């Protein structure tokens, strides 16, 4: 079975074991190109922001987390000791996911979603998890949507400025100051804001592997990069394209909303793993890797989600997944093994690519040289923590790639409400 699966994957240009260091070196080169102002896949966006040196004691800020499929908003209040509390939390659907919206419709929908927070604070920390150019005043210019959001008129807009206009039109009396950031910066700030007692980190990284995928790190001042002071850099790692694309990746990409974009993100983030798995499964069924009865059953599928893929990998003989139910009715033992190996190869690639990105971010930070002061990796996302064996494999590959091969040290951490906390902190940073 292993030989037939390996031959099938190789025939379709799907590497069974992606070489992590090859991806790391290619990504580091691309990051250097982007910081130098030369053409690069990753945008290397300057945020003009660093973690604050003082706590936000005694202040309140409205926070928005808009990305993926959800739109979350709340009020964060820091007490006299800087401890945050979260109130008025609401979650709705991200505008533009269900249908295409005009620019006015898009921001009017945002204002409607914020009605419960009207005039409760003068500062808004807006985590907008899409590619942006950040301006020195804290606004963000949208470069383009990912995650299948459909609002093309919004591309090129100043998001903070347009939101402020929409809020004023919806009756807000306070002239709010909107600070834009993405989820990786929010994660980084959450890690920097509240280190565990007795811990000391040499630097901080924010990394998201959920519906989408992206990373941010702190770049030290370097004469190699003109006019670049120490600050958080958003890498837009998901746009990196110097990776092998299998026939399955190409087939799905042609069906996606924005073909040819977000190459590595489409190979390892939650929004795309299900559709790519569907391409693998149906191709294998057509090419004779399964028994005839099971193949015909699989070809009845009209799609696949990460949830269903993950359920099968966690419990292949359970009927609580679509694949498990189909297998019970029509598969033999070889079918189970073949399907499992095919799907496991997909999540294995996810872990290797994620480890390569995290390794590149740590190396580019220039920190982590002492084991007692590791780089803090604040990681978030259900694909990172929940998908079958992804977290454990990432840790194993980081130990090999960073610690054993390069003597660089890191620690993966998580925080409750990390994106909300980080967005609130960003909203209070003085520009």
First to last CA, the chain: 59
Q: Which helix (H) or strand (E) holds 283?
A: helix 270-286
> Is pLDDT at 431 greater than 70 in this prediction?
no
93-105 pLDDT tens trace: 999 888 899 999 9
> Is the predicted pLDDT of residue 2 greater than 70, yes or no?
yes
- In this prediction, residue 1 carries a pLDDT of 61
Q: For residue 228, give the nearest of 77, 429, 46 by alpha carbon.
A: 46
pLDDT score at 29: 98
Say whether pLDDT at 195 is over 80. Answer: no
* Residue 201, pLDDT above cutoff 70: yes
Q: How far is CA 424 from CA 48, 52, 274, in A?
A: 17, 12, 33
Lookup result for tokens 């936000």: 56
The confidence score (pLDDT) of residue 186 equals 95
Q: Where is 213: in which H helix or E strand?
A: strand 213-219
pLDDT for the residue 241 = 96
Does the pLDDT value for residue 67 go beyond 80?
A: no
Amino acid 430: pLDDT: 77
- The pTM score is 0.90
- pLDDT band per the 50, 70, 90 thresholds, residue 147: low
> Is the predicted pLDDT of residue 214 greater than 90, yes or no?
yes
Question: Does the pLDDT at position 336 exceed 90?
Answer: yes
Please name the residue ranges forming H helices in 331-417: 333-365, 382-386, 390-398, 405-406
Provide mean pLDDT across the span 146-152.
79
């Amino acid at each position: 079975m292993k030989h037939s699966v390996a031959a099938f994957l190789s025939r379709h240009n799907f590497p069974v074991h992606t070489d992590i260091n090859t991806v790391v070196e290619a990504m580091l080169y691309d990051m250097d190109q982007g910081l130098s102002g030369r053409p690069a896949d990753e945008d290397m966006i300057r945020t003009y922001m660093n973690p604050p040196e003082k706590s936000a004691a005694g202040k309140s800020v409205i926070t928005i987390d808009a990305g993926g499929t959800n739109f979350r908003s709340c009020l964060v209040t820091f007490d006299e000791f800087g401890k945050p509390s979260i109130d008025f939390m609401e979650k709705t659907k991200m505008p533009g996911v269900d249908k295409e919206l005009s620019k006015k419709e898009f921001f009017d929908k945002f204002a409607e979603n914020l009605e419960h927070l009207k005039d409760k604070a003068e500062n808004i920390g807006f985590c907008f998890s899409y590619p942006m150019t950040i301006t020195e005043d804290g606004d963000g210019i949208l470069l383009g949507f990912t995650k299948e959001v459909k609002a093309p008129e919004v591309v090129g807009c100043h998001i903070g400025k347009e939101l402020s206009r929409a809020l004023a039109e919806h009756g807000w009396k306070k002239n709010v100051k909107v600070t834009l950031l993405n989820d990786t910066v929010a994660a980084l700030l959450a890690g920097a804001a509240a280190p565990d007692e007795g811990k000391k980190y040499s630097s901080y990284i924010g990394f998201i592997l959920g519906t989408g995928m992206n990373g941010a790190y702190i770049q030290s001042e370097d004469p190699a990069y003109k006019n670049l002071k120490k600050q958080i850099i958003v890498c837009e790692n998901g746009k990196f394209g110097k990776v092998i694309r299998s026939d399955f990746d190409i087939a799905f990409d042609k069906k996606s909303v924005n073909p040819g974009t977000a190459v590595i993100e489409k190979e390892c983030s939650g929004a795309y793993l299900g559709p790519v798995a569907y391409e693998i499964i149906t191709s294998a069924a057509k090419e004779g890797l399964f028994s005839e009865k099971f193949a015909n059953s699989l070809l009845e599928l009209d799609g696949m989600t990460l949830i269903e893929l993950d359920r099968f990998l966690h419990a292949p003989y359970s009927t609580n997944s679509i694949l498990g139910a189909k297998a019970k009715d029509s598969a033999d033992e070889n079918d189970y093994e073949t399907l499992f190996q095919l799907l496991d190869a997909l999540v294995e690639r996810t872990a290797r690519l994620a480890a390569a990105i995290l390794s590149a971010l740590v190396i580019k930070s220039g920190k982590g040289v002492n084991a007692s002061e590791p780089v803090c990796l604040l990681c978030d996302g259900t694909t990172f923590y929940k998908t079958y064996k992804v977290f454990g494999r990432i840790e194993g590959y980081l130990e090999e790639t960073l610690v054993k091969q390069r003597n660089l040290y890191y620690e993966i951490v998580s925080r409750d409400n990390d994106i909300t906390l980080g967005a609130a902190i960003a909203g209070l940073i003085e520009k």
